[in-house]
Structures are given as C-alpha cells and as structure tokens.
Amino acid sequence: MDELEKQPLTQHLRELRSCLINASLAVAVGFAISYYYIQEIGAWFFKPLYEVLPDRSSLIFTSYQEAFFFI
C-alpha cells in the first residue's frame, strides 16, 4: 500500500492506461469469439422457444433491429 502512495501522478496514469488497454483488448477478443459463434449462441437461446412452437411455424421479428441480433 505504501508503494501506491509514493508513486507520482504520471505513473498512476500509465498504470491506468495499461489497465484500460487490457480491458479493451479483453472486450474485443470476447466480442470476436461470440460473433464467430453467433449461430450456435442464437440456437441455444431459442431452443426452449422452438420446443414449444407448433409444427411448421417460425419466429417472427417485429422490429427492424431484432433480425440483426441473430443473423
């Protein structure tokens, strides 16, 4: 704890910058992985709904942006 109090402001800012960069990279990697598996994720989310739908029926999207979530 004493080390943090003795650091100058610029060193704290460098540490903050590196933490923000690492967090941004983690979010980007997570987004890329989830985008790659979007079909499987969508099928997993909609599986309970498909099980209770009547035969020969399909999902209907009621707004423009809903169809882009699970392409």
Confidence at residue 70, expressed as pLDDT on a 0 to 100 scale: 59
Integer Cα distance of 51 and 43 in angstroms: 11
The stretch 45-63 carries a mean pLDDT of: 80
- Cβ atoms of 41 and 34 within 8 Å: the answer is yes
The stretch 45-52 carries a mean pLDDT of: 83
Question: So where are the chain's domains?
Answer: 1-36, 38-71
Integer Cα distance of 70 and 11 in angstroms: 44
In this structure, what token pair is assigned to residue 25?
A: 């990279």
Confidence at residue 49, expressed as pLDDT on a 0 to 100 scale: 81
- Please tell me the number of Cα atoms within 13 Å of 31 on its side-chain side: 6
> Which position has the higher pLDDT, 6 or 29?
29
Confidence at residue 68, expressed as pLDDT on a 0 to 100 scale: 64
In this structure, what token pair is assigned to residue 46?
A: 């909609």
